[in-house]
Homo-oligomer: A and B are copies of this chain.
Amino acid sequence: MTMSNTGGRRKPPTIHDVARVAGVSRGTVSRVLNGGHYVSPAAQEAVNAAIRKTGYVVNRHARSLITGRSDSIGFLLTEPQEKLFEDPNFNVLLRCCTQALAAHDIPLLLMLAGTEDERRRITRYITAGHVDGVLLVSSHSCDPVADELHEAGVPVVQCGKPMGLGSKVSYVAADDRGGARDMVRHLLSLGRRRIGVVSGPLDTPGGVDRLAGYKEVLGEAGVEIDERLIVSGDYSRASGEAGAERLLARAPDMDAVFVASDLMAQGALTALRRAGRRVPEDVSVGGFDDSVAATESTPALTTIRQPYDRISAEMVRVLLAQIGGDDPAAVILPTELVRRDST
């Protein structure tokens, strides 16, 4: 009786069609669709059968028009994209967030705000209510856009700790300080005492916290903190290479180095090799992130694993809770030391 469905787009069945087939009213179908409260088991079953039979899928536009929700969320990237897309961590984050949202049947809109123009356009788009919330990733993590959106009443969860203390924006981050502490303790346990550090940029919380962890542990262990053993980079491979070179020049007796990202650690390995230092025999090298870079380098890096899968899951959880009316929340997740061949 029904027409064949191949070739050409056919007008999809509406809630009305389902109601007719099930022999109930629109309202009942709608109730079944939205949780099934106050629906008799018989009606429930009839509606479900009709949905299967007609192949009905809810029209989200019509729903959104009346509920005011869009049932979709935005994944916003506010930094130069070339850089972030090369970062394996970012890819994991994007993938995990998409999957976590898919479990809730919520589509993810990818938004890239590299230029000022794009930023404006996207901000308008978001504040116009086209997404219910925003997952924000920014390498600086002190991006004003987070506060802007928050001010405008848009639920936001940021990946990584915000710089300013005044910010009331939700965030999920790994325990940078704790991770750094673990790594430095590990290096100390190997008998190393001249431990250098290539920190991250000191205008980011991650950079500051990892350096703080380093200093704390050395202090606690009664090891002198030597400023010649401290340099900072920008998380790029090149800056890791340059940083390690500078350390070697200033402190040739360095016997270990904590490098605040795996990518930088790769660069550091290059510099050490060129300087004729054997890793791990002469110098132990510890990274941070446990990205694919850690296993690809030779020797494979001992590093601090950031639980990106859990970070994504938490970001989604916190965001959905906030959309549901909860207050902003901050979540810090524990890291884990992963031993490989570089220490």
Binding site for B on A (CB under 8 A): 5-10, 12, 57-62, 64-65, 70, 72, 75, 81-82, 85-86, 88, 91-92, 94-95, 98-99, 102, 105, 107-112, 118, 121, 124-125, 127-130, 151-154, 237, 292, 296
Q: Which 6 A/B pairs are nearest by Cβ-Cβ distance?
A: A57-B128, A9-B153, A61-B64, A85-B91, A61-B61, A61-B65
A91–B93 Cα distance when bound, in Å, is 13
- Cβ A109 vs Cβ B109 within 8 A: yes
A182 CB, min distance to chain B CBs, angstroms: 26
- Point out the residue from B12, B86, B112 that lies within 8 Å of A88, measured CB to CB: B86
A62–B64 Cα distance when bound, in Å, is 8
Main secondary structure of the interface of A (DSSP, over half): helix
- Cβ B130 vs Cβ A60 within 8 A: yes
- Cβ A95 vs Cβ B85 within 8 A: yes
A17 CB, min distance to chain B CBs, angstroms: 13
A203–B7 Cα distance when bound, in Å, is 28
* Residues in chain B near residue A6, CB distance under 8 A: 151-152
* Residues in chain B near residue A127, CB distance under 8 A: 57
- Cβ A10 vs Cβ B153 within 8 A: yes
A284 CB, min distance to chain B CBs, angstroms: 23
- Cβ A153 vs Cβ B7 within 8 A: yes
* Residues in chain B near residue A111, CB distance under 8 A: 98, 107
A25 CB, min distance to chain B CBs, angstroms: 21
- Cβ B112 vs Cβ A110 within 8 A: no
A125–B72 Cα distance when bound, in Å, is 13
CB-CB under 8 A for A95 and B112, given A118-B102, A151-B7: yes
- Point out the residue from B61, B65, B99, B118 that lies within 8 Å of A112, measured CB to CB: B99
* Residues in chain B near residue A7, CB distance under 8 A: 151, 153
